[in-house]
Amino acid sequence: MVAKKSERMLVEEWRDVLSLHARTICELDRELHQHGLGASDFEVLDVLAEETAADGECSFRVQELAGRVHLSQSALSRLVARLEKDGLVTRGMCSEDRRGVRVSLTEAGRARHAEVQPLQREVLSRMLPPRSSA
């Protein structure tokens, strides 16, 4: 009986995580929509901006970026195409592997990121419970 109870608690905890994720993504999408972005769009800009700030000029191969933003490579390729159309990122050939594509943040992308980052962080602060210090 103890094993079944802990298994039930494990499943409930998993469902709580999924529910929190879904509610947070919906809230991010709702708040970011007024700026022409969705949660995944912002996540790509945020990863690119974070890495650019760390080492100046930064670009990611699409497959590297996919792992960081938890999207399939095909979904990310479509998202990057939309961001490029909006002038927020550029795509170029990968010098190490001509089959690869690199994605870089544009000045407009940096500006949009800077504009909406406080909003995204506010939503995260509101939606996510504080971590307990361990």
Q: What is the pLDDT along the chain (134 residues), one digit of tens a residue?
A: 455 669 989 999 999 999 999 999 999 999 999 999 999 999 999 999 987 655 556 677 788 888 899 898 889 999 999 999 999 999 887 666 666 678 989 999 999 999 999 999 999 999 998 877 65
* Cα(60)–Cα(67) distance, integer angstroms: 11
| Domains of the chain listed by start with CATH number | 2-127 (1.10.10.10)
Amino acid present at 87: G
Q: Which residues are CB-neighbours of 46 under 8 A, at least 6 positions away?
A: 113, 117, 120
Residue 102 is predicted with a pLDDT of 83
* Cα(14)–Cα(117) distance, integer angstroms: 28
* Cα(40)–Cα(83) distance, integer angstroms: 11
